[in-house]
A = this chain, B = another copy of it.
Amino acid sequence: MPFSPEEVEAHLQKLEGWELEEGRWIVRKFNFSSYMKGIAFVTEVAAISEAFEHHPFITIDYKVVTLRLTSWEEGGITGVDIKEAQQYNEAFEKMRSAD
């Protein structure tokens, strides 16, 4: 069963930068200092999502990478989405601290 809207909001308060969109996606935009850094982040995102067997919808708009997560088969946001979002944030922080 997916989280209730209240449960999603409680999780999002601990998840920097992510917001609920249309009640069934969590979304974060990641900004990079160069185009190729954004692309490097996307390859990290891809590796993480393969490990989870759960793939976000990704857009790349020059230096801005946007990730959208949902659990289609559950009809909303589940613990997998939250855990995966945490890993994307960690990968982003690691890249930023190496910058």
- Which residue in B42, B57, B62 is a CB contact (below 8 Å) of A39? B42
Taking the full assembly, how many copies of this chain does it contain? 2
* Chain B residues whose C-beta falls within 8 Å of the C-beta of A61 in the assembled complex: 57-58
Among residues of B, the one whose C-beta sits closest to the C-beta of A49 is: B35
Q: Does A55 interact with chain B (Cβ within 8 Å)?
A: yes
Q: Does A36 interact with chain B (Cβ within 8 Å)?
A: yes
Among residues of B, the one whose C-beta sits closest to the C-beta of A56 is: B60
A46 near B39 with CB under 8 A, answer yes
B50 near A35 with CB under 8 A, answer yes
- Which residue in B35, B36, B42 is a CB contact (below 8 Å) of A60? B42
**Interface residue ranges, A against B (CB under 8 Å):** 35-36, 39, 42-43, 46, 49-50, 55, 57-62
